[in-house]
Amino acid sequence: MLNFRQIEVFRAIMIANTISGAARMLHTTQPGLSRILHNTEQRLGILLFERKKGRLIPTPEGIHLFEEVQLVYKQIKNLDWSVDQLIQGKDQVLRVGSSPSVGRTLVPNVLRSIKEEMPELKVDFTILTVNQLVDYVSLQMGELAISLFPPNHPSIEQKLLTTGELVAVFPASHELAAKDVIEAADFQDQPIISFDKDTAHGREIVKFFDSVDFEPEISAYVRFAESACALVESGFGIALVDEFTVMGNAFPGLIVRPLKSPSQFHSYLLRHSGIPLSNAGRVFCQHLDQAVADWGKTKLS
C-alpha cells in the first residue's frame, strides 16, 4: 500500500515531468523526492518511470496508476469542498432562543457576527418566556438559549454569562434626568410602569421600594421590560428595568440612570446537558463570550 506522501510525490512528478519541477510544486528538495520515488517503485515492485537524458518517461503502469490517482484527488477535492461548506454553515440551521431582555440587542449582535463568519448558515431565533425556555432546551426544540432566569431542570446545563443591574429609565425631558444616581425616594408622586410582583422584575422592584414609606404610583403593568421602555417613550411614566434591555443604546430617546441600591440580574447560557453542540453552536458560544466581555469593558470605561 502507498501512503499519501508517496501518492502526492508521484502525481507531482507526472504533472511536472521532472524531479526538479515536482520539487518546486511541493516546495521541497530534489534528493528527497528522488528517494521517495525510489522507495515507491521498490514497494510496488514495478517501474513507474524510465530515466532518459535527465527526464522521466512514465511507463504504461505509471500512466495507469496516474489515472487512478487523479480519481482519488478528485474525491479529495470534493471532500475539501464538503468540509468548507460545513464550516460556512451550508444546509445548517442554528436554533437559538432568548429571554426578551437579552434578545433585543445582545443576541442579535452575536448572530450577526456569526453570519459574517459562517455566511451560509441559517438562523432560527425565537423570543421565549421563562416557562417556554425550559421546553425549548429540554425537548431539543432549539440548541441554545440565553435567559435571565436559570431553570431548575435535570436536562439543562447552565453557564453564568454576566451580571447586570436594575436601572431607571425615563424621557430625556424628565426632571430626574439631572440626577446621576436615582434613589427610591425620587419616585414619589411619579407614575411608574411596573411588573407583576410574582415576576423577577416585580420582586426586585418591591425590594427597591422597601426603604420608603409611600406606595409607588403604578400607572401600568407590563410583562416584558421592552414593553415598559416603549411606554416610557410614549410618555406613560418612568420604569425600572434590567440593564440588558437598554444595552447598546437600544432606546436612544430614553435616559438610563443607575440606582443607589441596585438589584442584580444574571444572564445564563442554556443547553441540553446530554447533546453535543454543533459547530455552529460552538461558534455561537465563542462569539457570545466575546460580546459579553466587550460589553463588560464598555461598562467599566
Cα gap 167→162, rounded to integer Å: 16
Taking only the tens place, the pLDDT of each residue in 200-245 is: 888 889 988 988 999 999 999 998 899 999 999 998 999 999 989 9
Query: Which pLDDT belongs to residue 89?
Result: 62
Q: Tell me: the pLDDT tens digits for 247-276?
A: 888 899 899 999 987 788 889 999 999 899
Domain boundary at 39, 70, 88, which? 88
**124, three cell numbers:** 432560527
Residues 192 and 250 grouped into a single domain: yes
What's 243-299 look like in SS3? HHHHCCCCCCCEEEEEECCCCEEEEEEEEECCCCCCHHHHHHHHHHHHHHHHHHHHH
Query: Model's pTM, two decimal places?
Result: 0.69
pLDDT at 88: 67
How many domains does one find in the chain?
Answer: 3
Asked if 112 and 154 sit in the same domain, the reply is yes
Average pLDDT, the chain: 88
pLDDT (0 to 100) of residue 46: 87
pLDDT of residue 124: 92
Q: Are residues 168 and 260 in the same domain?
A: yes
Please state the rounded mean pLDDT for residues 30-54.
Answer: 87
Q: Are 64 and 194 members of one domain?
A: no
- Domain of 24, CATH number, reads 1.10.10.10
What's the pLDDT at 218? 93
Residues 210, 256 within the same domain: yes
Based on the fold, state whether residues 202 and 167 are members of the same structural domain: yes
> What percent of the chain has pLDDT above 70?
95
The answer to whether residues 230 and 295 belong to one domain is no
Per-residue HEC secondary structure of the chain comes to CCCHHHHHHHHHHHHHCCHHHHHHHHCCCHHHHHHHHHHHHHHHCCCCEEEECCEEEECHHHHHHHHHHHHHHHHHHHHHHHHHHHHHCCCCEEEEEECHHHHHCHHHHHHHHHHHHCCCCEEEEEECCHHHHHHHHHCCCCCEEEECCCCCCCCEEEEEEEEEEEEEEEECCCHHHHCCCECHHHHCCCEEEEECCCCHHHHHHHHHHHHCCCCCEEEEEECCHHHHHHHHHCCCCEEEEEHHHHCCCCCCCEEEEEECCCCEEEEEEEEECCCCCCHHHHHHHHHHHHHHHHHHHHHHC
Same domain, yes or no: 196 and 117: no
Cell (9 digits) for 216: 409607588
Residues 270 and 157 in one domain: yes
- What is the arithmetic mean of pLDDT over 32-58? 86
- Domain holding 23, by residue range, is 4-88
Euclidean distance between the first and final Cα of the chain, in Å?
63
